[in-house]
Amino acid sequence: MSNEHTVKSYEEELRYLIDSVIKMGSLTESQMVDSMDAVIKVDKDSIDKIIKSDEEINKFRSKIDTQIMTLLVKRAPMAIDLRETISSLKISQDLERIGDLSKSNAKKVKPLPLDLPEELLGNLKRLGDLVIKQLNDVLDSYVNKNYDKAKEVWEKDEQVDDLTYIAMESVIDFLSKDKKNLDFSTHLIFATKNLERAGDHITNIAETICFLIKGEYLKGSRPKGKVIQQ
């Protein structure tokens, strides 16, 4: 913001709200990194810690809701302040969902065997790395109010779709070799799908940021990559 509100406490309340969203975002990002790490390393010891961190994310969500309600009642925000307030609400909702998906993936580590072949996890890791990068970039665009970067994230979801397709195929291939793999392969398929869904929430955040900055929604439909028939 180029210049500040005449009422300093209003300025502080808005700043506090934005800070909460940034903190929630960074917590969500660490949780996703940890969750991905747990899946790739089949690290069963870290599951509880990841579940615990989801509780923290949820607490942020309620805190942000309260902050927004207070702002709406006290300040009746207008224009950029209104968009900032509404965007915080929307972004925190998407972050909470991303947190749920990371938690869900962490839980899927439990039934996985420790000796998973590397080629099976390779594509999943590539997908996870891309989704983490997307989350990082979208949060960065939020912090710096960078329209172009948010739009780039939105466009790049196509790559998430493509990698999801590849990761799914490799799990299905592995499954088709031996039906005994059915149980944990199903978990890996769900984990892959969860990453793709997290990618969708990230594109929602990117759309919200574009709306926040310019006051209008991105036009046209987002580029789509390959999708597995469901």
Q: Using CB under 8 A, which of the segments 74-82, 125-133, 135-143, 202-210 binds other proteins? A: 74-82
Under the criterion CB under 8 A, does residue 78 sit at the interface with other proteins? yes
With respect to other proteins, which residue has the nearer C-beta, 11 or 155? Answer: 11
Residue found by looking up tokens 């989704």 in the block:
131
Q: How many residues bind other proteins, per CB under 8 A?
A: 18
Angle at CA 135, nearest 5°, toward 129 and 138?
140
Under the criterion CB under 8 A, does residue 90 sit at the interface with other proteins? no
Under the criterion CB under 8 A, does residue 3 sit at the interface with other proteins? yes
> Three-state SS across 135-170?
HHHHHHHHHCCCHHHHHHHHHHHHHHHHHHHHHHHH
Q: Using CB under 8 A, which of the segments 76-84, 114-122, 135-143, 200-208 binds other proteins? A: 76-84
With respect to other proteins, which residue has the nearer C-beta, 71 or 120? Answer: 71
Under the criterion CB under 8 A, does residue 81 sit at the interface with other proteins? yes
What residues contact residue 147 under an 8 Å CB cut-off, 6+ apart?
141, 209, 210, 213, 214
Q: For other proteins, which residue of 6, 221, 229, 230 counts as binding (CB under 8 A)?
A: 6
Q: Name the token pair of 97.
A: 């969902």
> What secondary structure letter does DSSP report for 7?
S
Under the criterion CB under 8 A, does residue 83 sit at the interface with other proteins? yes
Under the criterion CB under 8 A, does residue 217 sit at the interface with other proteins? no
Q: State the Cα–Cα distance between residues 91 and 81, nearest whole angstrom.
A: 15
**Using CA of residue 221, residue 144, residue 196, residue 123, what is the dihedral sign?**
positive
With respect to other proteins, which residue has the nearer C-beta, 76 or 182? Answer: 76
Task: List contacts with other proteins (CB under 8 A).
Answer: 1, 3-7, 10, 76-83, 214-216
